[in-house]
Amino acid sequence: MPNQASRSQLAVGLMSGTSMDGIDAALVRLSGPSDEPRLRLLAFDTLPYPGAVRDRLLRLAAGEATTAGEVSQLNFLLGELFAEAALRVCRRAKISAARLTVIGSHGQTIYHQGTPTRESGRQVSSTLQIAEPAIIAARTGAPVVADFRVPDIAAGGQGAPLVPMVDYLLLRDKAKGTVALNIGGIANVTIIPANAQPEDVFGFDTGPGNMVIDALVRHFTRGRKTFDAEGQIAARGRVMDSLLRQLLRLPFLSRKPPKSAGREQFGQDFVADYFLAKRQQRTVDLLRTATELTVAAVAQALEQFVFPRARINRLIVSGGGAHNRLFLAGLQAFLPGLSIELSDHYGLPADAKEAIAFALLADRTLHGLPGNLPRVTGARRAVVLGKIVRP
């Protein structure tokens, strides 16, 4: 039952985002009531994808030709890899997987269409995450919650972002209005007004996070590097102002929330059309402009859709982009009135936060509590997320 204030349970969250670098695994101890949890991170680890697997996933997510057989095989292969990540983080903490109450697995998104399109006369949205949860349950012996996005889409939502529920539970403050910014492959924000109730929280994807930058680094280094560590390469370049102005007029950026994005909007085709087509431009200038796009899109989104609706005091940053010094400096320059902090200061290490989130969302699912926020996803109602697979 929820509201068991004396409980203490172990859970693992598994996450691989749009960057497709590998599988993040967070082992947490949950205590207090499920609807007012206390959380402590015990261990965090990342299991990198084998190069050949990552290449296949990137190709699949880019919409290149595949077969039902390849999708099926990758689903089960990733199930094995996600199970290995869960077992590895338990070993790191010297805790047996048999002691886990639940594993929450987001899986690997290979397709996400949060806005309906017309299919055979019907309006259809869909999302597909792979990493077979029955394999994870069988290998670990723990119950697994997976397919988190699907119930929200079934209720008329976009299926993302889902981390805002966790932001609300762990970062709300009676006196301070908060924006929780996660910079993964895609950047998204959760807005938590001071003394907020769940129905006061809203959020959305602001645009690209690291996705465009990572793609450019991989292209120009021919795969020798996969990201711009701390923004060091981009720091040597200059912003291409005319390109940046063009990008900031993209329809997605001006669309009112709720909205979600992925490789369908900012993947391979986007990079080719807007960046790689600029053959005469310096690599460092392209990277600097892509970096500035992420920051400017966040600032533009806050100015358009957040500040008119809520008084905000602080910006709490997480995700891989929290390590990019250019991101942080740019945010402070665009948003001088806000206190900018890392989520690490709140017991949520920047790299581990999304994996932590799916451990907590899985716990809510086990207790029959909703995991989405309708004002964030656009769903008609709050719903319990995911499907439970028993070992």
Which of the four pLDDT bands, split at 50, 70 and 90, describes residue 19?
A: confident
Instruction: Note whether residue 134 is domain-resident.
Output: yes
Q: Is the same domain home to 81 and 124?
A: yes
Q: How many domains does the chain have?
A: 2
Q: Is the same domain home to 71 and 94?
A: yes
Instruction: Note whether residue 74 is domain-resident.
Output: yes
Q: Is the same domain home to 179 and 154?
A: no
Q: Whose CA is closest to 348, among 38, 83, 49?
A: 38
Q: Is the same domain home to 109 and 200?
A: no
Compute the average pLDDT of residues 68-81: 98
Distance (Å, whole) CA 158 – CA 116: 9
Q: Is the same domain home to 275 and 307?
A: yes
Distance (Å, whole) CA 261 – CA 158: 10
Q: pLDDT of 110-144, one tens digit each? A: 999 998 999 999 999 999 999 999 999 999 999 99
Distance (Å, whole) CA 160 – CA 148: 9
Instruction: Note whether residue 172 is domain-resident.
Output: yes
Q: Is the same domain home to 209 and 335?
A: yes
Q: Is the same domain home to 290 and 239?
A: yes
Q: Is the same domain home to 339 and 360?
A: no
Q: Is the same domain home to 174 and 315?
A: yes
pLDDT at residue 46 greater than cutoff 90: yes
Q: pLDDT of 192-211, one tens digit each? A: 999 999 999 999 999 999 99
Q: Is the same domain home to 155 and 238?
A: no
Q: Is the same domain home to 281 and 373?
A: no
- pLDDT of 2 reads 45
Instruction: Note whether residue 318 is domain-resident.
Output: yes
Instruction: Note whether residue 2 is domain-resident.
Output: no
- pLDDT of 264 reads 87
Instruction: Note whether residue 3 is domain-resident.
Output: no
Q: Whose CA is closest to 108, among 10, 202, 185, 164?
A: 185
Question: What is the domain-level CATH number for residue 147?
Answer: 3.30.420.40
Q: pLDDT of 262-306, one tens digit each? A: 888 999 999 999 999 987 899 999 999 999 999 999 999 999 999
What's the pTM value of the predicted model, to 2 decimals?
A: 0.91
Which of the four pLDDT bands, split at 50, 70 and 90, describes residue 352?
A: very high
Q: Is the same domain home to 179 and 33?
A: no
Distance (Å, whole) CA 104 – CA 374: 21
In three state form, how does the secondary structure of the chain look? CCCCCCCEEEEEEEEECCCCCEEEEEEEEEECCCCCCEEEEEEEEEEECCHHHHHHHHHHHCCCCCCHHHHHHHHHHHHHHHHHHHHHHHHHCCCCHHHEEEEEEEEEEEEEEEEEEEECCEEEEEEEEECCHHHHHHHHCCCEEECCHHHHHHCCCCCCCCCHHHHHHHHCCCCCCEEEEEECCEEEEEEECCCCCHHHCEEEEEEECCHHHHHHHHHHCCCCCCCCHHHCCHHHCCCCHHHHHHHCCCHHHHCCCCCCCCHHHHCHHHHHHHHHCCCCCCHHHHHHHHHHHHHHHHHHHHHHHHCCCCCCCEEEEECHHHHCHHHHHHHHHHCCCCEEEEHHHHCCCCCCHHHHHHHHHHHHHHCCCCCCCHHHHCCCCCCCCCEEECC
Handedness of CA 93, 96, 102, 107 (dihedral sign): positive
The boundaries of the domain holding residue 113 are 8-160+352-389
